[in-house]
A and B are shown apart, each in its own frame.
Chain A
């Protein structure tokens, strides 16, 4: 059952990509991608629910469906669905790219496929390869608009991320080496094999390998100070791609850190490993806060907000325990929904006002009462204001930090979140309630394709802020338990 669902989930974006490549028709490509995303969403939902029954292994243990992995596929599937709906409207607004749309959708669905695959890889080496593949596919999506800025962003993206991720490969090799003292020179490097043999590994080697892996995948996650590619790539790619990069890709890379952290825990170097992760998380919040306060570009604002939220998730994972892990996973979901909403809004505004500069976007409310309200609500949500989901998940992470005795990190997180709240919403005040002066001009009427996904993202966000399903809480506590105990 799970295997069949998984196969359908992987084959549908693959089929869509193949279809787009074979039939060079943009309407068909749009349709194929949309259908694939709906199938992925439905199957990912089912797989996530079924994953609670214990991990399922396929294909000689190369593929695993476990709860953390399934959760990441679910977050990915949600963003993929929303972004596919949105891109139907958005990509038609781009001038001069119309005839290339089939290649956009082929790349877009392959990008979704690689992210989904990375979450179910059971072999640490193959996980690395799939993460590298996500970079290769998304580079062309980042550079899709072919403006000089986009090409620059794509170049920085591939250079920085490939260099970073090669550190993760070195760390992977060193993990394999340290495992070979326990399991013999040739073994299957599955997550559970690593975790179970970790207690007999050499701690010094594990620390070295863990730090390399953390820096490597941390580059991909966008943790400061390795975040430098992120604002460029997120701001220069088309808006649906930005949403996928931010809401789906970053989580997939974070999953690697979560899994290696569990190995480090079992090796008895957990407290050091956690402290490093927490420090990186706090640093990401600092960088996020500094750049959010003084930001000129609307999509760069969203990108730095991603740095901030990855910092928050890193803090949750680093704090560990039931509250830390549950908060981090909940935050992943909320951030995926909310950041998609924010990028869609930013894309709409960018197209209608014809600019990326915050200073030139004025009177949003007057021009767009409905989508303006949605976007503003999303802005309140992303800064962690109640009654939205992010308020709850950040609160849980803070509580996890207090339980784990990281009081300094909790204090820093609280202060920085307040700074970000003020800084972020200040930009929105300028865009919605401009001081008297020349008001902006707006050009384009937005289609329903551009507005509908914003509704779809905001509704669950509000729901999760008001009501936390108890089944979800049980799911999270089971995940926290498996990560802590080492049993796969």
Chain B
């Protein structure tokens, strides 16, 4: 399924889903409550799972259905559940020390999207794909990456940082489904499992942080400097 010759209907469905997940990333960026992050993240994962299934349908990659099911199960249900349990145990419901107000963070996020659009457009132009869904996929991929980094930079609660990392990877998943649907399935499956391990590790670490550093806010981690 080369991106250049795509069924217009398929192209518009892909665009819709890509934009929906970008919007959900903004929901995460603009909210203060950890629970809202989690719901937005779960919803985003479901959108990406649906996108995998759609790409599988239009591109004729049956193995993408498997990826879709795994994405929905792991990233849509299991990971949010694990994180939700951490939230409950930590007794932290909102981001207390934010660096940037959510409203300013939204503006910064908008600049990230503009920058990614410029990069995506340039690359798309040099590939002769300027008017296709590839540019959009590239833009969404890069901007979710930048938004993830923004979340890592301006939020200090341990859980927000985990979610920031997961948004980074969601962006890659989304872009990869559209741009390289044929990328070996084995790798995608392993990456899914890998994420699960990451979150399990984080769960353990968060507990250590709480037990030994006495806080889960990275603002308090300043013993090691210089």
Instruction: Please name the 4 residue pairs, one residue from A and one from B, whose CB atoms are nearest each other, closest first.
Output: A186-B182, A125-B187, A185-B182, A204-B126
Q: Is the CB of A162 within 8 A of B2?
A: no
CA distance A155 to B157 in the complex (A): 12
Q: Is the CB of A143 within 8 A of B152?
A: no
Contacts of A236 in B (CB 8 A): 224
Q: Does A449 contact B (CB under 8 A)?
A: no
Which residue of A123, A151, A177 is within 8 Å of B209 (Cβ)? A151
Q: Does B8 contact A (CB under 8 A)?
A: no
A359 to chain B, nearest CB (A): 14
Q: Does B108 contact A (CB under 8 A)?
A: no
Q: Is the CB of B175 within 8 A of A231?
A: no
CA distance A158 to B201 in the complex (A): 9
B201 to chain A, nearest CB (A): 6
CA distance A136 to B205 in the complex (A): 11
CA distance A148 to B171 in the complex (A): 33
> Taking CB as reference atom, which chain A residue is nearest B4?
A181
Contacts of B2 in A (CB 8 A): 185
Contacts of B214 in A (CB 8 A): 148
Which residue of A123, A136, A162 is within 8 Å of B165 (Cβ)? A162
Contacts of B164 in A (CB 8 A): 163
> Taking CB as reference atom, which chain A residue is nearest B165?
A162
B140 to chain A, nearest CB (A): 12
CA distance A97 to B73 in the complex (A): 39
Contacts of B183 in A (CB 8 A): 125, 173, 176, 189
Q: Does A147 contact B (CB under 8 A)?
A: yes
> Taking CB as reference atom, which chain B residue is nearest A207?
B123
Contact residues on A (Cβ < 8 Å of other chain), bracket: 35 or more
The B88-141 residues at the A interface (CB cut-off 8 A) are 119, 122-123, 126-127, 141
Q: A155-B218, A202-B126, A205-B126 are in contact. List 12 more A-B contacts (CB 8 A).
A: A123-B187, A148-B223, A152-B209, A153-B224, A158-B202, A163-B148, A170-B142, A170-B171, A186-B184, A202-B123, A202-B127, A203-B126
CA distance A180 to B181 in the complex (A): 10
> Taking CB as reference atom, which chain B residue is nearest A62?
B186
Report B163-180 CB contacts with A as 1/0, cut-off 8 Å: 011001101100110011
CA distance A170 to B204 in the complex (A): 27
> Taking CB as reference atom, which chain B residue is nearest A166?
B168
CA distance A435 to B168 in the complex (A): 53
Report A196-211 CB contacts with B as 1/0, cut-off 8 Å: 0000001111001000
Report A165-198 CB contacts with B as 1/0, cut-off 8 Å: 0110110010011001100111111000000000
Q: Does A394 contact B (CB under 8 A)?
A: no
Check A170/B187 contact, CB under 8 A, given A132-B194, A204-B122, A208-B119: no
Q: Does B191 contact A (CB under 8 A)?
A: yes
CA distance A236 to B212 in the complex (A): 14
Interface centre among A136, A155, A187, by most chain B C-beta atoms within 10 angstroms, is A155
Which residue of A129, A146, A169 is within 8 Å of B208 (Cβ)? A146
Q: Does B197 contact A (CB under 8 A)?
A: yes
Report A202-232 CB contacts with B as 1/0, cut-off 8 Å: 1111001000000000000000000000011
Q: Is the CB of B184 within 8 A of A125?
A: yes
Contacts of A154 in B (CB 8 A): 205, 208
A58 to chain B, nearest CB (A): 16
